[in-house]
Amino acid sequence: MRRRVLIAAMLVFAAQSASAGTLERAKETGLFRIGYRADARPYSYQDKQGRPAGFVVDLCREVAAALGPWVKTTYVLVHAGERFESVRDGRVDILCDPSAEVVAVRDHRHGMELVQDAKLDAYMADRNILAAMLRAGGRPGFELSKRYFSYETYALALPRDDSAFRLLVDKTLARLYRTGKVNAILTKTFGGQPLDEMLSTMFLINALPE
């Protein structure tokens, strides 16, 4: 029987699994293609001049810079329904998009009904509220996740099976965390509000040495 998962809701920017030869192709053609969204502000969007902008776009620009000055960056606008396909089919080399679709629901009961009808893969809410609803009964097949979440998880989507390119992306992100440059990118997008303690901890954990 299919288990329905309920999870209680971390802002972690990580590289997803990466088509062989992205680095080689970029160096041979002199072109690096960044996929971005027009309407996912503040992470990936078009500014008033129609230019790519946003926090995740800036992260991808750092990856592009790590390829070297001989590689030209080009931007490819992708739509929500085809963003992962654009990576899979080789239309873009990296996807700069908050890749977690969030669906608003009317209330907790509605959220659980959508999971039960397979219209959602999981429902996120306060753990105690979910536990109380399950204790009330009438929800067979549901399971409360043992894992706790404090933030939504985002990632840079890469082609599969390209370990060299994934290493470059991971090293670039680690350098941003290690040097603190990520704070300037955060401030550019979200303003000068104090950095969340948990987020600072996650940056520290991922600030791996070269």
Q: Are 94 and 131 in contact (CB under 8 A)?
A: no
Question: Which of these, 77, 76, 60, 74, lies nearest to 26 by C-alpha position?
Answer: 74
Question: For 13-101+152-201, which CATH superfamily applies?
Answer: Periplasmic binding protein-like II (3.40.190.10)
Q: Is the pTM of this model over 0.75?
A: no
**Residues 178, 207: contact at Cβ < 8 Å?**
yes
Give me the mean pLDDT over the 2-9 stretch. 45
Domain boundaries of the chain, sorted by first residue: 4-8+105-148, 13-101+152-201
Q: How confident is residue 66, by pLDDT bands cut at 50, 70 and 90?
A: very high
> For 191-209, what is each residue's pLDDT tens digit?
776 666 777 887 888 888 8
| Cβ contact 87:158 at 8 Å | yes
Instruction: Kindly indicate the confidence band of residue 10, based on its pLDDT and cuts at 50, 70 and 90.
Output: very low
pLDDT at 2: 44
Q: At what angle do helices 163-179 and 197-206 cross, to 10 degrees?
A: 130
Report the percentage of the chain scoring pLDDT > 90.
26
Q: Which residue has the higher pLDDT, 210 or 60?
A: 60
CA dist 122 and 140 (Å) reads 15
Residue 181 has pLDDT above 50, yes or no: yes
- With a CB cutoff of 8 Å and minimum separation 6, the contacts of 19 are 90, 159, 160, 161, 162
